[in-house]
């Protein structure tokens, strides 16, 4: 055997060995790459949870900040900042102008630090490096200067540079001088990273967001209200599910920023998860995530599915949002757009996930400081209910529409405009039925808000004796009911007696005890009640107490009294209310 052939054999063996090695390494890398998720929980050994996870996976990275900022000053670490006594006037003035204490905000650094409210686990997730480039879109109408700019600064400070394409500010025709005159100059320091466009007339937040989506340059768009502060490493966890599946819209967990002190604090604890649902009057609600959903995940910090969302803060693939027609452009100013988008996404083949590792603070205002402008003046009836009607007429099945009209009887008479385009879109995208959505996605809604029995009577409830109407006075429950001049607008005077004996006013219920006739919270999960109305005698009977609602002739106090069918102070007439 020649030296040549010995060498050749050895070389062949080495080559074969190398090949096997390469295959093994490749196999290892591939097997560790979580193909479903495209990202990976990379906990230190001491914190590993159920499964051993690889240390390093190609193409993934952990975007946690290298060092924790530590600063002192007003409002730092997200602590409450209390103004001095002699500043109370400024505080009150800005509360009434903006619905929040902008005077307090003005004293807090635009770059302040806040509390990291995430689950510990969140620091250990790795995400793909090549996440889609993102435009953060912030629409605003007459927001406080420092509040708006702290939103911008927080995004710049806490977002990995390579994925933040731009921040796009869209001014919905603000009339505050500083916003009109100084904002362009202020933004110059960011060298084009922050763009500002302005509406030439008031459009309302819904259309303004659709415009923002049209004009954005990023692959993914993220909407934020103009009074937010994003938390540590908030963006990668929002983008990862979209990177995996472009038809997933993601929603961060919203923390609270106090409107008086700007204290940053979580609304819920860290490890109990909530998700967005609704009641039949289309009020947005949150419900603890059902076990059926929680169980589909391996780790508590992983995203979970949600039927809907609050509306303000979310991420979505830009082209996908536009393919869905953005928001229905017939929706005006404020409200209902969160449901429209949610039903559209779920019923037409996409999904919504809430992301525990992404947290964003939002200032919940004391009241809404702006009016709806010219857009509302042309309309008869409440604009928000008109929006709801468009949405339910497009997306609900017949059975569920009835629940909405039972809960909101005046909505039948509202002019919702033309929804042909919306119905065509639903057809074109071959969207599933609302029943499918209720059974497969929003399966926890009916536990909380069961099917509504029809109303036997609804409208204002007029006293035969004095001609005035039952009224909640807009008080929060528990509170005493009263009587007031009948105004015919419904609202706090619109009572519904259903076939199971419940009297409802809006989402609340009428009950009675020794103190009198009261507005109360309805018992979740029930639609029955103690009341019956006698068409012949016009009395309202409480069946358990076997007494009737009576008005005190002198004090006007409402209470239960032994029934006396001939007493005008116990006689009540339901009168239907129509929108004005």
The least distance separating ligand UD2 from the CB of residue 141, rounded to whole angstroms, comes to: 4
Of 141 and 246, which has the nearer Cβ to ligand UD2? 141
Residue 135 CB, nearest approach to ligand UD2 (Å): 16
The entry of ligand UD2, Mn ion, none that residue 352 binds, CB within 5 to 8 Å by partner kind: none
Indicate the burial class of 543 (C-beta count within 10 angstroms; 0-12, 13-18, 19 or more): exposed
CB 363 → Mn ion: shortest distance, Å?
7
Q: Is 340 in the site for Mn ion (CB under 5 A)?
A: no
The b-or-e profile of 137-165 (16+ CB within 10 A means b, else e) is bbbbbbbbbbbbbbbbbbbbbbbbeebbb
The DSSP code sequence of 384-417 is HHHHHHHHHHHH--HHHHHHHHHHSGGGGG----
Residue 511 partner contact from Mn ion, ligand UD2, none using kind-dependent CB cut-offs of 5 to 8 Å: none
Among left, alpha and beta (phi > 0; psi -120 to 50; other), residue 38 is left
Give Cα separations from 35 to 29, 30, 128, 245, 499 (angstroms): 11, 9, 11, 12, 53
Distance CA 343, CA 351 (A): 9
Q: Return the number of the residue (100 or 131) whose C-beta is nearest ligand UD2.
A: 100
How big is the CA angle at 396 (ends 420 and 212), to the nearest 5 degrees? Answer: 60
Q: How far is the CB of 541 from ligand UD2 (least distance, A)?
A: 40
Q: Which does 226 bind (CB under 5 to 8 A by kind): ligand UD2, Mn ion, none?
A: ligand UD2
- As measured in angstroms, the least distance from the Cβ of 554 to Mn ion is 46
- Could you tell which of Mn ion, ligand UD2, none binds residue 547, using a CB distance below 5 to 8 A set by kind? none
Chain-centroid distance, C-alpha 461: 34
Of 26, 54, 24, 23, nearest to 39 by C-alpha is: 54
311 interface partner picked from Mn ion, ligand UD2, none, CB below 5 to 8 A per type: ligand UD2
Build a one-symbol-per-residue string for 169-208: x at contacts with Mn ion by CB under 5 A, - elsewhere.
----------------------------------------
| Cα 154–chain centre separation | 21
Helix (H, G, I), strand (E, B) or coil at 447: helix
333 interacts with, out of Mn ion, ligand UD2, none, CB within 5 to 8 A per kind: ligand UD2
CB atoms within 10 A of CB 198: 14
Nearer to ligand UD2, 106 or 397 (CB): 106
Name the token pair of 352.
Answer: 């919504």
* Cβ-Cβ contacts under 8 Å for 474 (sequence gap 6 or more): 492
> Which residue number, 390 or 518, has a Cβ lying nearer to ligand UD2?
390
Take residue 301 and report the two structure tokens written for it. Answer: 């910090």
Q: Are 67 and 104 in contact (CB under 8 A)?
A: no
List the x/- string, 215-254, binding to Mn ion by CB under 5 A: ----------x-----------------------------
Least distance between ligand UD2 and beta carbon 199 (Å) = 8
**β-strands 264-265, 248-257 pairing:** antiparallel
Which residue's CB is nearer to ligand UD2, number 141 or number 259?
141
Compute the least distance from the CB of residue 367 to ligand UD2, in Å.
10
Residues engaged in binding ligand UD2 (CB under 6 A): 139-141, 143, 172, 204-205, 208, 225-226, 254, 310-313, 333-335, 337-338, 362, 368, 370
Residue with smaller CB distance to ligand UD2, 109 or 142: 142
Q: 22 or 283: whose CB is closer to ligand UD2? A: 283
Q: Between residues 225 and 328, which has the closer beta carbon with respect to Mn ion? A: 225
């Amino acid at each position: 055997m020649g030296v040549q052939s010995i060498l050749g054999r050895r070389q062949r063996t080495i080559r074969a060995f190398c090949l096997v090695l390469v295959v093994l390494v490749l196999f290892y890398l591939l097997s560790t790459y979580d193909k479903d998720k495209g990202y990976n929980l990379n906990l230190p050994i001491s914190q590993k949870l159920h499964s051993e996870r690889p240390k390093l996976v190609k193409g993934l990275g952990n975007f946690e900040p290298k060092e924790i900022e530590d600063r002192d000053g007003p409002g730092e670490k997200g602590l409450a900042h209390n103004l001095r006594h002699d500043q109370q006037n400024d505080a009150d003035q800005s509360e009434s102008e903006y619905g929040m204490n902008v005077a307090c905000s003005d004293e807090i650094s635009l770059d302040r630090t806040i509390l990291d409210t995430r689950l510990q686990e969140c620091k250990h997730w790795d995400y793909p490096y090549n996440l889609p480039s993102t435009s953060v879109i912030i629409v605003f109408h007459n927001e406080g200067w420092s509040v708006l700019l702290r939103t911008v600064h927080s995004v710049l400070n806490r977002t990995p540079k390579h994925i933040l394409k731009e921040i796009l500010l869209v001014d919905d025709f603000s009339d505050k001088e500083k916003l009109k005159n100084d904002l362009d100059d202020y933004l110059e320091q960011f060298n084009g990273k922050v763009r500002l466009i302005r509406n030439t007339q008031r459009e309302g937040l819904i259309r303004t967001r659709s415009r923002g989506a049209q004009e954005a340059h990023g692959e993914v768009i993220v909407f934020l209200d103009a009074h937010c502060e994003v938390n540590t490493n908030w963006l990668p966890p929002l983008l990862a599910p979209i990177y995996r599946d472009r038809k997933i819209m993601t929603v961060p967990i919203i923390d609270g920023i106090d409107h008086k002190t700007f204290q940053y604090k979580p609304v819920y604890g860290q490890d109990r998860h909530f998700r967005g649902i609704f009641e039949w009057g289309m009020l947005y609600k949150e419900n603890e995530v059902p076990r059926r959903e929680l169980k589909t995940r391996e780790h508590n910090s992983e995203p979970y599915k949600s039927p809907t969302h609050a509306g303000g803060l979310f991420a979505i693939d830009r082209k996908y949002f536009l393919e869905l027609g953005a928001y229905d452009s017939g929706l005006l100013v404020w409200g209902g757009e969160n449901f429209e988008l949610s039903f559209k996404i779920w019923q037409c083949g996409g999904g919504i996930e809430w992301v525990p590792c992404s947290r964003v603070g939002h200032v919940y205002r004391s009241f809404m400081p702006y009016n709806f402008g010219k857009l509302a003046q042309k309309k008869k009836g409440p604009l928000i209910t008109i929006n709801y009607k468009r949405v339910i007429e497009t997306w609900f099945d017949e059975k569920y529409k009835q629940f909405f009209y039972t809960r909101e009887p005046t909505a039948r008479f509202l002019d919702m405009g033309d929804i042909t385009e919306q119905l065509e879109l639903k057809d074109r995208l071959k969207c599933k039925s609302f029943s499918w959505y209720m059974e497969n996605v929003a399966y926890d809604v009916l536990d909380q808000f069961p099917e509504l029995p029809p109303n036997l009577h609804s409208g204002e409830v007029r006293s035969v004796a004095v001609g005035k109407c039952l009224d909640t006075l807009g008080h929060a429950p528990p509170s005493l009911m009263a009587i007031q001049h009948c105004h015919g607008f419904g609202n706090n005077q619109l009572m519904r007696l259903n076939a199971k004996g419940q009297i409802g006013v809006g989402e609340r219920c009428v009950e009675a005890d020794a103190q009198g006739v009261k507005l109360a919270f309805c018992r979740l999960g029930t639609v029955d009640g103690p009341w019956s109305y006698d068409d012949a005698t016009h009395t309202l009977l409480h069946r358990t107490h076997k007494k009737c609602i009576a008005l005190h002739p002198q004090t006007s106090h409402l209470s239960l009294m032994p029934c006396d069918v001939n007493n005008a102070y116990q006689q009540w007439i339901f009168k239907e209310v129509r929108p004005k």
